[in-house]
Structures are given as C-alpha cells and as structure tokens.
Amino acid sequence: MKRSKLIALLSVAFLAGLFLRGCFVSKPAQQAALVPASGDAEVVWTCSMHPQIRQPNPGKCPLCGMDLIPLTSDAGQKLGPREISMSPRAEMLAQIETAPVERRFVESEIRMVGKIAYDETRARDISLLADGVIERLFVNYEGVRVKAGDHLAEIYSPEVFAAQKELLAAQRVGNTDGARQKLRLLGVLDDEIEAVLKNGEAHRAFTVRSPIDGVLLSKSGNEGHWLNRGDALATIADNSVVWTLLDAYESDLGFIHYGEPVDLSIEAIPGRSFTGRVSFISPQIDDKTRTAKVRVNVANEDNVLKPGMFVHATLRAQVTSSGQEISPELADKWICPMHPEVVKTAPGECDICGMPLVATRELGYISLADATNAPPLVIPATAPLLTGRRAVVYVAHPDKPGVYEGRDIKLGKRAGDFYVVESGLQEGEQVVVRGNMKIDSSVQLLGKPSMMNPPPPKAAIEIPDESHAEDFNPILRAYFDIASALADDNLDAAHSAATTMSESAGSKFVQITALAHAVATAGDLDGARQPFEELSRASIALAKAYAPHLDTTAYVLFCPMAFDDAGANWMQPTKKVHNPYFGEEMPGCGKVIETIGAGE
C-alpha cells in the first residue's frame, strides 16, 4: 500500500516539473526549437510583417514588436539575387506547375460585333437627262426589289417629245443617225427609238428602266412631280454582296489585315454561318469606344442578309516572330486592292474593276517558304506577372530542383492563350504557369527583387571630358590590381587596391570613387565581387573613351557563368584568363572579347 502511494507521489511530482519547465522556458528557447536541425545551416531571423529586418539572433522586431521567425539559408545552396528555393512539400502546397518555352505558331481569335449594311459601291442613282414630269411611277415604295430592265417610271418631257418629232422628220429624208444619238443622250432607250420609227408617231412619255438587279433605296417624288435635268429619280442598290461594319478594339488591330477571311454568325439566322473578307480598316479610332471600323464584304446571293441585322464576327490570325501574318490561303497570291474576293495565283487585273492586282506580301502576309522558318517564341498567358510595362516570369532552374529564378522579360503580342516573347527567355526553359504569384509573395518576404519590387536600374556611366584622360592611367592600374586580387581570392589585397583606386579617382571620377569604396569596405569576397561588376562596367566605358591616352593595353573579357549565368565583363592587362568573379573555384572561365589598345 505504502509502495503504491510513493509511486503516485513521484508521478505527480514528475508531471508538475514538466509543467513548470514549460511555463518558465524563455521565448527565444521556444523560437530556437523552430530552427531546422541542420548544423551547417546559417539561421537568420526576420519579421513576417517587415521582411527587411535581418538579425542573427531571435528576439523582437524593432519596428512592430512581433516575435522574429527563423529564415534559414536554402539548404546550403548558393542562390542568386533573384532565386528562391522551395522544398517538395512547399511546391505541392503552392501547386506549382511549369510549361516549356517553345517556338510554335499560335492563333489569336479576334471577336467583333457589328451590323449589316448595303454595299455603297454597288448603289446606282437613276438620273434624268431631260426635264420632265413623272406621269407613272411603277416602283412607288422604298425596299421593293427590281431586276435589270424593269420599268421604274414613265416621264413626259417636252424636250424628248420634240426630239422624237425630229427623228420622224429625219426618217423621211433617209438619215436618222443624228436624231437617234440625240434621243440616246436624253435617256431614251434604243427599243423605244425603234418603236417610234416603226409606228411613225412620237410617244408622249418615255420609260425609265432599272440598269441593275437590286433594292429601291430611295425615290425623289410621286406621280406628277416635276424633275429637272440631273435630278435623281431613284437610287437602287445591288445587294448580292453586302457590307458588314464591325467594331474592332485598337489593341486587336495589329492582327487584322486586308483580305483576311472572317467568320460571321447572325442572330436572326441561327444555325447558319457566313464568311467574308476584310475590305477596309478605318484609319481613325473612335475617342469614346476606342474602336475602329472594319468593313467585311459578304456574299448575299439568296438575299437573306438584311441591312441592320446584328452580327457576331470571329477572325483567326497567326503571326510570326516579326509580326507578319500567316495565311496559307493568301500566301504567295495576288489580290485586288478594291475587291478582296478577287484572289489569283499570278499578277493581272481585277475581274470586277480592272485595277492591277497587288502581291499579298505587300499587305503584310508572309510567304509559305518563310513561314516555316519564323515561328515565334511563346509562353502560356498565365506565366507572366504583369505590372504596368513590366513582365516577370519565374523560371525553374534546370540543375537545381526546387529553385526558381525571377526574370524580367519583354513581351510581344498576346495570341489567344499565349504571349509572344521578344526577349528574356530561351527555347526549352521551364516557366511557372501556376503558383507563380505564391512564389513571388515568398520572394517579397525575402526582400529580393519581385513583381512589386523591381531590381534597381544600373546607373548611367559618367565620363568626364578628355582633360582628365591622363588621370585615368593610375586608376586603371589600380583596377587591374583589384581584379588580380579577387582572382587570387585575396580579400586584403583587393581592399588595398580598391582604396588606392578610390583615392586616385578622387573628385574627378566620382562614380569610380564610390564603386571602389564599396569594394574596399566589403566584408567578404562575394560582397566585393558584387560592386566590382559595376566598377568594371564603368571602368571599361572610361577606358574606351580615353583609349588614345592610355599607357597600357587593356583586354576586355567575358564570363557567361558569373552571377548565376547572368554573365559579367572585366579588364586585365594580359590575355590569359584570370577570373575575378570565381577566383580559385573556376579561374579559367572567360574569353577575350575586345582589346582596348594604348594610343588607339
């Protein structure tokens, strides 16, 4: 019994000890428990609200008082200034997906809306060539259909009546040529002239007939209305071809070219599609709608398309890397500049208007032979993060699983679900198409350049006038000493040479002075090599400017692997490669790309 009580008392005391230990353990000790069990991992403590805070030990944020959280180095990997490492679990939680950068032709689908209208080029005004009055009007309401040769009206004209009598008088003397021609010029048709000669009697009125098939658009009056010479009796439009007037957004105009086929659907005619060709693109943008009118010619042989009908239009365009249009139907062809439906395989004249045909390549279409060699470089539209004029993508590192690099790129046109890439990416690279915003958020927490925090632009090179050219020689020699010291991994020698360079530059070369001072005060080799790259850029520019005044030859070298394959230049007095960016780790990376000769 006593033994049981003793065991119970010991158990209670043990549990109480654990409780008290948990109550009095310090916050830093608890935070230290969060640090990964990796003896080599250097732990940096940061604030989740102020990621710019970096401290070597746990504690409170000096800005907001929140507990600092551990920010470990990325599993010992050496990362670039815009790289981030993610564990497999973090990639899974962020739902990271990538897609390759590839060269391929992509299709852009342009959608437009508009209305049907009469083809103005197919409208005809029926004008009188003599004064007269409308005695009978056969087409007395607008919209009535007429065919070529149908009578429109009977006109009494005293001038025409007198000319008919002159014709009969000429018949009696056996010469009617002049009288016939006069009646023709007054608008009388040959069959009526023959009827007058046959009957031997002048007709009170002559008939006006339609010259084309079409629809009556307007008339000038009713029966009894007097018309003067030149007045239009009626206006008739041939509607076997109609116009579709579409509104295209200004951002889509780059994909729209003369002669392109356009698919049309009419709400009033469901289940049926129509096809037309672009015949005109307005040169003016509407200030309110930011659209331009695009006119499409559409065949209407069965007259089902009525002016005023609402239209949905779809244009599908493929472009090359140069922005030219790809159209197998129009490539290497010849087209009429007024009638895009007239397309031929050889030069000639338009069957409708007689104008010379033009080559489609002059209208922006690429030949089929060239098209196969010009596919653009494209990425999915979900890959770039767009902020105004900037476009940022995250590229998966090919040799470091879980490492992603932020990169600024230049985009071209958007074509459907893809963007054309003008620069910044290479074919075969893997870009993040899903989860890129989560990666960018993590990059922002690390204080690295991101979508919202772009890298600072490189400063412009300041070059004093040639009166200071001779003063650059000791600066250049000090620069050579810095490069040699960094190549030997000798930080102390680099500090000394950079101090000498800064003192030699003084107030005459302010930019060089500041950059050399940054090298002279760097805490380690990596910290010295960062400003040395900018110092090299400025020194190379000055060496080129002062080349005639140099007392030594400078060789410009380039290492493509420096700064995580971003590449960097430097100068040295000999051709043998002595890389200051890698030192003993990779001394031979680089090649001579330029020689700045003394006196040149």
pLDDT tens digit sequence for 298-327: 999 888 999 999 999 999 887 776 656 677
pLDDT greater than 80 at residue 510: yes
Half-sphere exposure of 242 (CA within 13 A, CB side): 25
Question: Does 536 lie in the same domain as 515?
Answer: yes
| pLDDT for res 293 | 95
CA of 126: how far to CAs of 164, 182, 203, 237, in Å?
A: 22, 19, 21, 11
Does the residue 576 lie in any domain? yes
Ranking 44-48, 148-152, 215-219, 270-274 by mean pLDDT, the lowest is 44-48
pLDDT greater than 60 at residue 76: no
> Of residues 66 and 71, which shows the higher confidence score?
66
pTM, two decimal places: 0.58
Strands (E), 238-365: 241-249, 261-266, 269-281, 291-299, 310-319, 325-326, 334-335, 343-344, 358-359
pLDDT greater than 80 at residue 557: yes
Of the ranges 66-80, 294-308, 559-573, which is most confident? 294-308
**Which band of pLDDT confidence, cut at 50, 70 and 90, is reported for residue 4?**
low
* Mean pLDDT of the region 431-458: 80
Question: Does 30 lie in the same domain as 63?
Answer: yes
| pLDDT for res 42 | 56
Question: Does 126 lie in the same domain as 144?
Answer: yes
**What letter does residue 365 receive in the DSSP assignment?**
B
Please write the tens of the pLDDT for every residue from 349-361.
998 888 998 888 8
Please write the tens of the pLDDT for every residue from 161-213.
999 999 999 998 888 899 999 999 999 999 999 999 998 899 999 999 999 99
CATH number at residue 427: 2.40.420.20
Question: Does 587 lie in the same domain as 558?
Answer: yes
Q: Are 240 and 121 in contact (CB under 8 A)?
A: no
Does the residue 502 lie in any domain? yes
> Of residues 412 and 434, which shows the higher confidence score?
434
Question: Does 141 lie in the same domain as 221?
Answer: yes
Please write the tens of the pLDDT for every residue from 122-163.
889 999 999 999 999 998 888 899 999 999 999 999 999 999
| pLDDT for res 38 | 37
**Token pair for residue 380?**
């999915």
Contact partners, residue 557, CB within 8 Å, separation at least 6: 569, 570, 571, 572, 577, 579, 590, 591, 592, 593
Average per-residue pLDDT for the chain? 84
3-class state of residue 425 by DSSP: coil
3-class state of residue 199 by DSSP: helix
| pLDDT for res 3 | 52
CA of 131: how far to CAs of 137, 139, 155, 222, 552, in Å?
A: 16, 20, 9, 16, 99
Euclidean distance between CA atoms 514 and 595, whole angstroms: 26
| pLDDT for res 70 | 66
Question: Does 476 lie in the same domain as 582?
Answer: yes
| pLDDT for res 100 | 95
Of the ranges 25-39, 50-64, 140-154, 476-490, which is most confident? 476-490
Euclidean distance between CA atoms 132 and 174, whole angstroms: 29
| pLDDT for res 263 | 93
Question: Does 563 lie in the same domain as 493?
Answer: yes
CA of 110: how far to CAs of 180, 272, 577, in Å?
A: 58, 20, 55
Does the residue 423 lie in any domain? yes
CA of 419: how far to CAs of 379, 382, 541, in Å?
A: 6, 9, 36
Does the residue 460 lie in any domain? no
Which residues in 222-247 are b (16+ Cβ under 10 Å) and which e?
eeeeebeeeeebbbbbbbebbbbbbb
Does the residue 149 lie in any domain? yes
> Of residues 453 and 545, which shows the higher confidence score?
545
| pLDDT for res 72 | 46
Q: Are 317 and 276 in contact (CB under 8 A)?
A: no
Dihedral pair phi/psi, residue 70, rounded to 5°? -75, 140
Please write the tens of the pLDDT for every residue from 220-231.
888 999 999 999
> Of residues 49 and 53, which shows the higher confidence score?
53
Q: Which is it for strands 269-281 and 377-380: parallel, antiparallel or unpaired?
A: unpaired
> Of the residues 412, 445, 478, which one is the last residue of a structural domain?
445
pLDDT greater than 80 at residue 27: no
* Mean pLDDT of the region 279-308: 91
Ranking 48-52, 244-248, 536-540 by mean pLDDT, the lowest is 48-52
| pLDDT for res 322 | 61
Strand-pairing partners, residue 595, are 555
Question: Does 356 lie in the same domain as 255?
Answer: yes
Q: Which is it for strands 325-326 and 377-380: parallel, antiparallel or unpaired?
A: unpaired
**What letter does residue 55 receive in the DSSP assignment?**
B
> Of the residues 338, 362, 386, which one is the last residue of a structural domain?
362
pLDDT greater than 80 at residue 335: yes
Question: Does 424 lie in the same domain as 380?
Answer: yes
> Of residues 77 and 425, which shows the higher confidence score?
425
Question: Does 398 lie in the same domain as 438?
Answer: yes
Question: Does 506 lie in the same domain as 559?
Answer: yes
Q: What angle do CA 153, 240, 263 make, to 5 degrees?
A: 155
CATH number at residue 358: 2.40.30.170
As for how many domains the chain has, the answer is: 5
Query: Percent of the chain scored above 70 by pLDDT?
Result: 86
| pLDDT for res 33 | 34
pLDDT greater than 60 at residue 385: yes
**Which band of pLDDT confidence, cut at 50, 70 and 90, is reported for residue 459?**
low
> Of the residues 204, 237, 270, which one is the last residue of a structural domain?
237
Ranking 65-74, 426-435, 496-505 by mean pLDDT, the lowest is 65-74
Please write the tens of the pLDDT for every residue from 461-490.
778 888 888 889 999 999 999 999 999 999
Query: Percent of the chain scored above 90 by pLDDT?
Result: 40
Instruction: Please report, as a single letter, which amino acid is at residue 22.
Output: G
Does the residue 99 lie in any domain? yes
pLDDT greater than 70 at residue 529: yes
| pLDDT for res 598 | 67
* Mean pLDDT of the region 581-600: 85
Does the residue 450 lie in any domain? no
Give the domain range for residue 11.
Answer: 2-73
Question: Does 470 lie in the same domain as 592?
Answer: yes
Does the residue 276 lie in any domain? yes
CATH number at residue 143: 2.40.50.100
pLDDT greater than 70 at residue 73: no
